[in-house]
């Protein structure tokens, strides 16, 4: 059997195992080991299994992931997300539909210091959705605002997924992280405008005007100052070359812990929960990263990436059409698979093709994250929609219906980054 055919069969077997609910990392490692044993030898496959796992887990660049995750978990347990929402509500209470806009804005700010889509969506679901329901907001709009805002944690630095992309592709992690800032900010603004336009077009979605919040403007600033401070020190230090990515993560985690202790919100029980959750999430990401590297090496042996490149050259498609086809594949997979699984499965295959076409790897990484955002909201999987529905009790059908205009807004943001690559590449270019 030709090596390319072995790679194709292995890829299909891996998808079948995932459909049978085998954990993604186990399916990828199993296929990689068996396929490598078939092409080379069983002894070589077992030796690579041990060597790749150790080498992958010991990468210094990966040490940034636990720090960023710990930072987000500590701040979530310190109820910073609630503070951000209350503060932004104070500034937006006059705006019709202001609670929806404030929810998306608060999710964006919280994402800028948590780096976690799930943490952001979970926090806003508990804090913002009950408030919107209390003032008569439509359930679909309420849940959609919390869900779509939470997705920005995968794009706005510090993002664990952007770090993982940098490890898988050997792109500079600092530049990859900074590249997500402007697209993330632009996407957040588009989503907030979408919420405002929805309410103007259909006032029944937000029928009542909330009364003036009791908190003063000065009080709101006191609640929210920690977010720009932590982000400026952590990401600003990375951007200006004061910190390496790992030092940036360590600084962020330390500042988050310092803030939580200074405000006396981090009890021993909450600290234990934050550390425990950080360990679990980090272990999952590390295992998937190891699986992705092993599967990528298996694909390299089967010459699938080279075969894809030759096939695309033979078809003689224009580069932009190839990129559209790649993202169409990402979109379809996003409806049925977890975003981390898509990242570790597809990146080893698609990254070499994109680079051969002359595109920027950092730009491709940002667009990959943005495509994964749509997957977090797309049925039937839509991971964040399940989180929001479970925490709020709002039926999934209403959540998906409310998300439709926001999903289209995300597609608009993706098209803008495709049309204007400098949105993603400008800030990283200043770091070179």
Measure the CA–CA gap between 101 and 88, rounded to whole angstroms. Answer: 9
**Cα angle at 376 between 17 and 91, to 5 degrees?**
160
The encoded tokens of residue 260 equal 């939580």
Coil, strand or helix at 337: coil
Query: Is 74 inside a domain boundary?
Result: yes
**DSSP state at residue 137:** -
Residue 10 lies in a domain: no
> Is residue 54 one of the residues assigned to a domain?
no
- Give yes or no for a contact between 85 and 124, defined as CB atoms under 8 angstroms apart: yes
Q: How far apart are CA 341 and CA 336, in angstroms?
A: 11
Which domain range does residue 253 map to?
61-431
d(CA 160, CA 164): 6
Which residues make Cβ contacts (< 8 Å) with residue 146, sequence separation at least 6? Answer: 103, 107, 121, 124, 125, 128, 129, 388, 392
45 occurs within a structural domain: no
CB 252 within 8 A of CB 184: no
Q: Is residue 110 part of a domain?
A: yes
Question: Does the pTM of the predicted model rise above 0.85?
Answer: no
The verdict on residue 48 lying in a domain is no
Written as tens digits, the pLDDT of the chain (432 aa) is 677 788 788 888 887 887 787 887 888 888 888 888 888 888 878 887 777 777 767 777 778 888 888 888 888 788 787 788 778 877 777 777 788 888 888 888 887 777 667 777 777 788 788 888 887 888 888 888 888 887 887 888 888 888 889 888 889 888 999 999 999 999 999 999 999 999 888 888 887 665 666 677 777 778 788 888 888 898 888 888 888 888 888 998 899 899 888 888 888 888 888 888 888 888 877 887 788 778 777 877 887 766 766 676 666 667 777 777 777 777 777 766 667 777 877 887 788 888 888 889 999 999 988 888 787 787 766 677 877 888 888 888 888 888 889 989 998 999 899 889 999 999 998 876
Number of compact structural domains in the chain = 1
Q: Tell me how far CA of residue 363 lies from CA of 188, 354, 414, in angstroms.
A: 18, 10, 11
CA 146, 149, 152, 157 dihedral sign is negative
Q: Which residue's entry shows tokens 């770090």?
A: 163
> Where on the phi/psi map is residue 138: left (φ > 0), alpha (ψ -120 to 50), or beta?
beta
- Residue 255 domain flag: yes
3-state class of 268 per DSSP?
A: helix
Angular region, 144: left φ>0, alpha ψ -120 to 50, beta rest: alpha
The verdict on residue 34 lying in a domain is no
């Amino acid at each position: 059997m030709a090596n390319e055919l072995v790679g194709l069969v292995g890829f299909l077997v891996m998808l079948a195992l995932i459909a049978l609910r085998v954990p993604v990392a186990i399916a990828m490692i199993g296929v990689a080991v068996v396929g490598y044993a078939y092409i080379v030898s069983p002894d070589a496959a077992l030796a690579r299994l041990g060597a790749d796992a150790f080498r992958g887990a010991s990468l210094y660049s990966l040490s940034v992931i636990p720090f960023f995750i710990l930072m987000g978990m500590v701040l979530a347990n310190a109820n910073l997300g609630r503070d951000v929402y209350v503060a932004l509500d104070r500034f937006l209470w006059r705006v019709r539909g202001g609670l929806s806009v404030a929810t998306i804005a608060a999710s964006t700010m919280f994402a800028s210091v948590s780096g976690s889509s799930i943490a952001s969506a979970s926090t806003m679901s508990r804090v913002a959705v009950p408030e919107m329901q209390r003032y008569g907001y439509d359930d679909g709009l309420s849940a959609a605002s919390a869900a779509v805002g939470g997705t920005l944690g995968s794009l706005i630095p510090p993002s664990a997924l952007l770090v993982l992309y940098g490890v898988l592709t050997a792109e500079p992690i600092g530049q990859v992280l900074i590249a997500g800032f402007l697209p993330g900010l632009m996407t957040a603004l588009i989503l907030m405008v979408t919420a405002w336009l929805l309410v103007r077009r259909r006032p029944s979605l937000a029928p009542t005007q909330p009364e003036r919040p009791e908190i003063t403007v000065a009080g709101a600033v006191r609640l929210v100052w920690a977010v720009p401070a932590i982000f400026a020190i952590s990401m600003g230090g990375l951007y200006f070359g004061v910190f390496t990515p790992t030092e940036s993560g360590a600084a962020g985690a330390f500042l988050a812990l310092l803030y939580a202790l200074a405000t006396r919100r981090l009890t021993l029980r909450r600290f234990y929960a934050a550390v425990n959750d950080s360990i679990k999430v980090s272990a999952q990401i590390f295992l998937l990263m190891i699986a992705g590297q092993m599967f990528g090496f298996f694909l390299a042996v089967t010459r699938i990436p080279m075969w894809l490149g030759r096939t695309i050259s033979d078809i003689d498609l224009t580069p932009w059409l190839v990129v559209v086809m790649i993202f169409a594949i990402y979109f379809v997979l996003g409806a049925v698979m977890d975003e981390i699984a898509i990242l570790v499965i597809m990146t080893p295959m698609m990254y070499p093709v994109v680079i051969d076409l002359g595109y920027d790897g950092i730009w491709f990484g940002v667009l990959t994250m943005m495509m994964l955002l749509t997957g977090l909201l797309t049925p039937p999987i839509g991971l964040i929609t399940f989180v929001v529905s479970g925490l709020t009790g709002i039926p999934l059908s209403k959540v998906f219906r409310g998300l439709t205009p926001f999903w289209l807004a995300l597609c608009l943001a993706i098209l803008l980054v495709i049309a204007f690559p400098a949105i993603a590449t400008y800030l990283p270019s200043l770091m070179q």
